[in-house]
Structure 1
Amino acid sequence: MNLSPHRMNKQCAACRAQATGKLVSFLVLVFVLLSHHLASAQQPEMMVRMAEIEIAPADLEKYKAILAEEATASVKREPGVIAIFPMYQKENPALVRILEIYASKAAYEQHLKTPHFQKYKTTTLNMVKSLKLVEMGLIDAVSMPLLFRKLTEEK
């Protein structure tokens, strides 16, 4: 097949236009991916920690009632409080653990100033035998929203 110079120029122009279109598409994709990465990198990092608390056995029931009230108020009233999940060791109920998840360090700092947290802190101060706050790192933050979604789905 013998192509005339005019026909070859038309095919080259079509190839160049197609290559330019693909290059533009590629550059748009790179820009979108970089923008997404930069936007997610600029969002504040979630703050997660485990509070390890030992309660005086004589105060345990009163402490649990005050803690339940505080945890509920925090999650309902504070948008930056993702979860405050209190639990206890079955073998020793006086050993309480609280999983705390905040949208950011700023959300945590705001939480400390709320009236419901201040009430919890002052009314339980003499009930607490020991307190250790353990900062946690996230291994799989991507699947965390799925956990909470599952809790609210209809069965």
Structure 2
Amino acid sequence: MKMHLLILGFLLSCSSAFAQKNAMIIRLSEIEIYPKYLEEYKSILREESRASVKLEPGVISIYPMYQKSDSTQVRILEIYASKEAYQAHLKTPHFQTYKTTTLNMVKSLKLVDMEAIDPETMSEVFRKMKK
């Protein structure tokens, strides 16, 4: 019985470590754009987000939006399948183009890492989008 508990404890710690290593990355990017660059920035961001979702299997979401009351306040919901997917995303030509061409357009940038409360429901959210 003791041996079974030890084995169970070992397996649980291994599966927990595996889950952490392969855990999704969820982030909110909070970006303020200088007003004179807003339309150009939105166009570049639209291209980058579309390319990321279409071309990168590890990118679950790059969903840009802006505040109704202040369109210079852009938010992006970023969801990556894993840390490796995020690292790969940073190296893509479309992300590098976005980053370098919009650098002077960004007044402020804050990256907020998030943790899902109910990750099991996430697949339902995307399934509903298909209907």
- Superposed pair shares fold, TM > 0.5: yes
- Cα offset, 1:42, TM superposition: 2.0
| Residue 75 of structure 2 is aligned to residue 94 of structure 1 | no
| Larger relative contact order (Cα-Cα within 8 Å, sequence gap ≥ 6) | 2
Which blocks of at least 5 consecutive residues in structure 1 are unaligned? 1-30
| Residue 119 of structure 2 is aligned to residue 124 of structure 1 | no
| Residue 24 of structure 2 is aligned to residue 55 of structure 1 | no
One of 103, 124, 128 as aligned partner of 1:146: 124
Kindly tell me the number of residue pairs found equivalent between the two proteins: 122
The 5 A counterparts of 1:21-60 are 42-43=18-19, 44-60=22-38
The higher radius of gyration belongs to 1
SS in 2 for 1:50: strand
What is aligned with 1:137?
115
- Cα offset, 1:134, TM superposition: 0.4
Higher fraction of strand: 2
Any runs of at least 4 consecutive aligned residues in structure 1 with deviations exceeding 3 A, and if so which? Answer: 35-41
Identity of aligned residues (%): 62
Superposition TM-score, scaled by structure 1 size: 0.73
| Residue 59 of structure 2 is aligned to residue 81 of structure 1 | yes
SS in 1 for 2:87: helix
Give the distance between the partners of 1:67 and 1:86, measured in 2 at CA. Answer: 8
- Cα offset, 1:151, TM superposition: 0.3
